[in-house]
Amino acid sequence: MSNLQQFVIKFFTTLGAAIEEVDYALIHVLIDDEFKNIFGKTELKLCFDYEVYLENPKYELVTFGSFILDKIIDLSIKLSNTSIRYAVVDNLNVAEPEKKIKKFLNLDRTNLEIIDEKKFINYFVKYSFKVTYASDNTIEEFEDAVIDMKSMSISNKFYDNLNSVFYESKPQYDYPLNSNIDFLMALKEVLKEIDRIKELKTEQLGNIAIINKEEERINLYYDSLKIEAEKRMNRKNLSEEKVNDYKHKIEIYNMEKQRQLNEITEKYKIKTNVFLQNAVVYAVPMIVFKYKILGRNNSNEECTCFYNTVLKDFGRFI
């Protein structure tokens, strides 16, 4: 089952729809009447494979840019605490692309030929969180992170340039979507970044000096008791009962010391909670270049890179 099919099934399951997996890449969906005006009907026959679709023309092909998928994405955004912004750029063309690609690749003295150039839409999602740090008092911090949905990687550069992104509330470009739309996977990746930020903040806010001082005090106190007990236990002519009594005391000292150390750690430990506030999806036009490097020592292998029209820089697909 493809990621797209899994996403669509999860979506309709969330809506409370009845779903039947008819065959490979074929599903039958029955939705509530309240969604009829969105999808045009309450019974949907969906296909997720082009070759299977050719054999089953009564089914609707679900693919990037298709009517049904556009409706699913729009509705999923409306039903969640999410908004979508369609980036507007001043120039959708790259002047002297060969020269700029060579500079990006650090191949200034190499001949390069562009074979193909296509435009597509990629999603960048900014997730916003409230993070609470609780110890003696509670501190609230607001943390953001942006993920590139194409590569499923954190994009600090896009985040740093958010204030310079011009956008509209409706689509501006009729380019196909070429982006992962598994927002749950994206959220999991972003939470890893938030965990990293949270750990750094916890270290900064932590009562490390107090904890160390208290631990030193406890260790000195109980270690001194143990030393004294061991000295008494090692005296000559002690009965076996008395020796066992001192051994028991040493065990109690160890247990009590560990109990108090745990209490100190728990008392000054900073407890954190993370709350998702909202998500903003940025639809960004991208340009993908297919090229090959010319020269006697180079093969005819075709390579690709992309140009981000918002960040105005090149990158490679991961």
Q: Considering just the CA atoms, what is the radius of gyration of the chain in Å?
A: 31
177-224 pLDDT, tens digit each: 887 788 888 999 999 999 999 888 887 776 677 788 888 999 999 999
Q: Residue 166 gets which letter from DSSP?
A: -
214-254 pLDDT, tens digit each: 889 999 999 999 999 888 888 888 888 888 898 999 999 99
Strand 111-134, strand 271-294: pairing: antiparallel
Question: Are 231 and 104 part of one and the same domain?
Answer: no
Joined together, the tokens standing for residue 170 give 């409706």
Question: Are 169 and 300 part of one and the same domain?
Answer: yes
Question: Are 235 and 278 part of one and the same domain?
Answer: no
The answer to whether residues 314 and 104 touch, using CB atoms and an 8 Å cutoff, is yes
Residue 102: give the domain boundaries.
82-180+274-318
Structurally, the chain folds into a number of domains equal to 3
Q: Would you say residue 153 lies in a domain?
A: yes
Question: Are 287 and 235 part of one and the same domain?
Answer: no
Q: Would you say residue 128 lies in a domain?
A: yes
pLDDT category at 44 given cuts 50, 70, 90 is very high
Question: Are 147 and 41 part of one and the same domain?
Answer: no
pLDDT category at 53 given cuts 50, 70, 90 is very high
pLDDT at 166 over 70: yes
Question: Are 293 and 170 part of one and the same domain?
Answer: yes
Q: Would you say residue 194 lies in a domain?
A: no
The answer to whether residues 318 and 147 touch, using CB atoms and an 8 Å cutoff, is no
Q: Residue 300 gets which letter from DSSP?
A: -
The answer to whether residues 17 and 29 touch, using CB atoms and an 8 Å cutoff, is yes
> What distance in Å separates the CA atoms of residue 285 and residue 166, rounded to the nearest whole number?
12
C-alpha angle with apex 83: 80 to 87, nearest 5 degrees? 155
Question: Are 16 and 98 part of one and the same domain?
Answer: no
Q: Residue 177 gets which letter from DSSP?
A: B
Least confident of 78-82, 93-97, 240-244: 78-82
Write down the pLDDT at residue 298.
58
Half-sphere exposure of 245 (CA within 13 A, CB side): 6
Question: Are 104 and 56 part of one and the same domain?
Answer: no
Mention every residue, 6+ apart, whose C-beta is less than 8 A from residue 120: 175, 176, 177, 178, 179, 285, 286, 288
Write down the pLDDT at residue 146.
96
Give the domain CATH number at 29.
Answer: 3.30.360
Mean pLDDT of the chain: 88
